[in-house]
Amino acid sequence: MAKIQPKNLRVYGVLLRAETVLMSGENLGRRKVLKFPGGAVEPGETPETALRREFIEEGNLAVTPAYLLHVPGTLFSPWTHSEYTPMYFRVLSEGIPSVPEHETVELTFMDPKQAIDSGRMATPEIIALKRALNAGDAT
């Protein structure tokens, strides 16, 4: 039986370390947004495999998906004016991110409250971050 994948399935990883969270600063159209590292799930990939690949591509960082935090369903992005289906995972890693020259993202560890209060995060990301922080494993 063939697996049906939602339209524009995206995966994102919440990496908490020393009371900070790894955020990806990106330009989406004219808007400067904060989101978690991640991206599209390609045909034949599992969400976890895609998440590992995206962290390597965006930050030369090996991660281990720990557990699923939030799956809000298919949404309409006011930033890209398109539908997407995001999945948010808590990820673990002890490495240090290093963005390759060809990538257009800026990875930085931020205070979670600052990230939330910035007005640059979408609601699904805020929910995922709050769930990760409330899980009590923010080591």
Which of 2-11, 60-69, 88-97, 127-136 has the least mean pLDDT?
2-11
Q: Mean pLDDT over all residues of the chain?
A: 92
pLDDT at residue 136 tops 80: no
Distance CA 77, CA 1 (A): 31
Confirm whether 2 is domain-assigned: no
Q: Who contacts 59 (Cβ-Cβ below 8 Å, separation ≥6)?
A: 22, 37, 97, 98, 99, 103, 105, 107
CATH of the domain at 71: 3.90.79.10
Into how many domains does the chain fold? 1
pLDDT at residue 129 tops 70: yes
pLDDT digits (tens, 9 = 90+) for 85-113: 999 999 999 999 999 998 888 999 999 99
Confirm whether 54 is domain-assigned: yes
Confirm whether 4 is domain-assigned: no
Q: Who contacts 95 (Cβ-Cβ below 8 Å, separation ≥6)?
A: 60, 61, 62
Q: Who contacts 122 (Cβ-Cβ below 8 Å, separation ≥6)?
A: 33, 35, 77, 79
Confirm whether 111 is domain-assigned: yes
Exposed, middle or buried by CB within 10 Å (0-12, 13-18, 19+), for 31?
exposed
Provide the domain limits for residue 82.
9-134
Q: Residue 32 CA to chain centroid, in angstroms?
A: 15
pLDDT at residue 5 tops 90: no
Confirm whether 107 is domain-assigned: yes
Confirm whether 71 is domain-assigned: yes
The Cβ of residue 79 has, within 10 Å, a number of other Cβ atoms equal to 13
Confirm whether 139 is domain-assigned: no
The percentage of residues in the chain with a pLDDT greater than 90, rounded to a whole number, is 78
pLDDT band for 18, please (50, 70, 90 cuts). Answer: very high
Confirm whether 3 is domain-assigned: no
